[in-house]
Chain A
Amino acid sequence: MAVDKPRSLLLILARELATNVATPMFVVDVRGALVFYNEAAELLLGQSFSVTGPVGPDEWGGAMFQMEDLDGNRITVNDLPLAKTLTERRPAHARFRITALDGVKRTLAATSFPLFARADDFAGTLSVFWEDEG
C-alpha cells in the first residue's frame, strides 16, 4: 500500500527527548503545528497533550494561553522564539508572560532552535521553556 509522507526522524527523536526530560518542551513541525508537548509543559499550559492532541498552526497560542511581554503588552504566537525559529530558521530566545487555562500568570524564558536533518532539510523546531521570575 502507499504510505503517507513519513514523519521526520528528527521530530521522533525530539519527541522522545521531550518525553524523557523534566523541562517543558514544545515540538513544532515545519508547518508550525504543535505536534507534541511534554508533561512539564502540560503543567505550564494547564492542559494535557493527551487531551489536546496535536494542535494546528492556526489553532494554538491564543486559544491555549494568553501572552504578554514583560511590560504587559499583548503579544501573539508570532512574537514567540519558536515562531522566529520557524520563519528565520535560527535559534531565538525571549522572556514573556503567559496566562494558561488554569488562570495562573507565569513569567517564562523560552529558547528555540531549528531542527535540521542532513544539510538543509528543515524539520521543525524544539522549544524549551523555563519559569523565570528573575
Chain B
Amino acid sequence: MRAQVWGCRGSLPAPGPETVRYGGNTSCVEVRVDEGTALILDAGSGMRPLGRVLAVDKVGVIHVLLTHLHLDHLQGLAFFLPFWSDDVELHIWGPPSPSYGLAERVAGYVSPPLFPVPLSDVPSRPIFHDVPDEPWMIGSALVQGHAVVHQGPTMGFRVTADGRTLAYIPDHEPSLGVDLRQVEPDWISGYHVALDADVLLHDAQYSDDEYAAHVGWGHSSIDHAVAFATAVRVERLVLFHHDPSHSDAELEPMLDQARSTWPGVRPPVLAEEGMVLELSPAGVTVDSRHSMPASETVPSSE
C-alpha cells in the first residue's frame, strides 16, 4: 500500500512563501493498492494536481472517500481532471445523512451559484455511496469508516492492505469533554478507526495555547493528537491539517513539542505535500523531503 499526501492544510488553502515547505493545499491523500485503481481520501485542493497524474496514468477506477463535506475537503473535486472524463468509473463515498443524499449535498457546491456547471452535467457521472456501517472492500483494500467527533457528520477512515493499516482522521476533536489520558480508550471517539494502526494521519491544527480559544470547533491540539495516538497505540503519527495561519517556521516547534511527549519508538512527523508512505509486509517507510532526517527513512522493525 502506497499513500501520498497531496494536501495537508486545514480550513483554507494557504499558498505562499511561508508555507512552501509543508504545502498550502487542503486535505487530499492518494492511496494505491491495486494497479488501475486509486483510492483518494478527501477532495481538498490537493486533488487538482493529483488529477493530472491520474489522467496521465489512465487510472480507470477511482474511489473518493470524503470524511465530511466542509469545503476544505471538497473544493478540489470540481477541479479534478477525471471528474470531467467520461472514461473513468468514479465512486464518491461520504457520511450518510438522514435528510439528504450524498449527491444532493455535494451538488450544493458543484452547482450554480457557487460553481458554473451543475452536477448533472458532469461527464464522469459519479456514483455516490453512503459510507456503510460495515467494512467493505475496494479492490484488495479493506476499508472501514466510522463517525468521529467534529462539527457535523464526519467520518474517519481505516484502510488495511498488505497486512498494514493506515488510519486517516484529519478533522477530529476527541478531547471534547474528556481527558484522553484518563478515559478508557474504547470510549474515545475514533478508537476503532485508529486502533493499532501502522500509520495515523491525524488532526493537529492548534498549538495548546490556540486550542483554548477554539474548544468545540472540531479540531485537536498537538497535545491531543499525541494523547489520542498514544491511547490507540499507533506506530507512527503524522500530524495533519495544519492551520492556514501557521507558517513553516511555526509548525516546526509544534513538531518538537509532539516529539518531546511521544512515548513510542518512531517520532511523529509533520505531513507535507509530496510525502510518500509505503506500507508493506516488510515495514513502513516515510519518504519525506523535509520534516525528518534521511536516517529515519528506514523500514520499521516489523
Q: Using C-beta atoms within 8 Å of the partner chain, give the interface range for chain A.
A: 10 to 19
Any chain B CB within 8 A of the CB of A16? yes
Instruction: Check if A6 sits within 8 Å of B192, measured CB to CB.
Output: yes
Chain A proximity mask over B189-208: 1 for CB below 8 Å, otherwise 0: 10111011000000000000
Q: Which residues of A contact B193 (CB under 8 A)?
A: 6
Instruction: Check if A118 sits within 8 Å of B98, measured CB to CB.
Output: yes
Q: Which residues of B contact A119 (CB under 8 A)?
A: 96, 98
- A4-B192, A20-B177 known; A13 and B187 CB under 8 Å? no
Any chain A CB within 8 A of the CB of B146? yes
Question: Which A1-25 residues have C-beta < 8 A from chain B?
Answer: 1, 3-4, 6-9, 12-13, 15-17, 19-20
- A4-B192, A17-B177, A19-B178 known; A9 and B98 CB under 8 Å? no
Chain B proximity mask over A15-46: 1 for CB below 8 Å, otherwise 0: 11101100000000000000000000000000
Q: Which residues of A contact B133 (CB under 8 A)?
A: 121
In the bound assembly, the distance between CA atoms of A116 and B121 in angstroms comes to 36
Any chain B CB within 8 A of the CB of A117? yes
- A16-B176, A118-B97, A118-B98 known; A9 and B189 CB under 8 Å? yes
Instruction: Check if A13 sits within 8 Å of B149, measured CB to CB.
Output: yes
In the bound assembly, the distance between CA atoms of A8 and B133 in angstroms comes to 10
B97, B133, B188 interface centre (most CB from chain A within 10 Å): B133
Instruction: Check if A12 sits within 8 Å of B146, measured CB to CB.
Output: no
In the bound assembly, the distance between CA atoms of A56 and B158 in angstroms comes to 30
Distance in angstroms from A101 CB to nearest chain B CB is: 24
Q: Which are the 5 A-B pairs with shortest beta-carbon distances?
A: A6-B192, A16-B177, A9-B147, A119-B98, A3-B192
A7 contact from B97, B158, B192, B196, Cβ within 8 A: B192
In the bound assembly, the distance between CA atoms of A89 and B48 in angstroms comes to 46
Distance in angstroms from B15 CB to nearest chain A CB is: 34
Any chain A CB within 8 A of the CB of B148? yes
In the bound assembly, the distance between CA atoms of A117 and B148 in angstroms comes to 12
23 A–B contacts from the bound complex (CB under 8 Å): A1-B165, A1-B195, A3-B144, A3-B158, A3-B192, A3-B195, A4-B192, A6-B191, A6-B192, A7-B186, A7-B187, A7-B192, A9-B146, A9-B148, A9-B189, A12-B149, A12-B189, A13-B149, A13-B189, A20-B177, A118-B96, A118-B97, A121-B133
Chain A, residue nearest B189 (CB): A12
B residues contacting A by CB (< 8 A) are 96-98, 133, 144, 146-149, 158, 165, 176-178, 186-189, 191-193, 195-196
Instruction: Check if B147 sits within 8 Å of A117, measured CB to CB.
Output: yes
Query: Total A-B residue pairs with C-beta atoms closer than 8 Å?
Result: 43
Instruction: Check if B192 sits within 8 Å of A19, measured CB to CB.
Output: no
Q: Which residues of A contact B191 (CB under 8 A)?
A: 6-7
A residues contacting B by CB (< 8 A) are 1, 3-4, 6-9, 12-13, 15-17, 19-20, 117-119, 121
Q: Which residues of A contact B186 (CB under 8 A)?
A: 7
In the bound assembly, the distance between CA atoms of A12 and B147 in angstroms comes to 11
Q: Which residues of A contact B96 (CB under 8 A)?
A: 118-119
A9, A12, A16 interface centre (most CB from chain B within 10 Å): A12
Distance in angstroms from B149 CB to nearest chain A CB is: 7
Chain B, residue nearest A18 (CB): B177
Q: Which residues of B contact A121 (CB under 8 A)?
A: 133
Chain B, residue nearest A7 (CB): B186
Q: Which residues of A contact B178 (CB under 8 A)?
A: 16, 19
In the bound assembly, the distance between CA atoms of A13 and B189 in angstroms comes to 8
In the bound assembly, the distance between CA atoms of A13 and B128 in angstroms comes to 28
Q: Which residues of B contact A20 (CB under 8 A)?
A: 177
In the bound assembly, the distance between CA atoms of A117 and B189 in angstroms comes to 15
Chain B, residue nearest A53 (CB): B184
Q: Which residues of B contact A4 (CB under 8 A)?
A: 192
Instruction: Check if B98 sits within 8 Å of A12, measured CB to CB.
Output: no
Instruction: Check if B192 sits within 8 Å of A9, measured CB to CB.
Output: no
Q: Which residues of A contact B147 (CB under 8 A)?
A: 8-9, 117
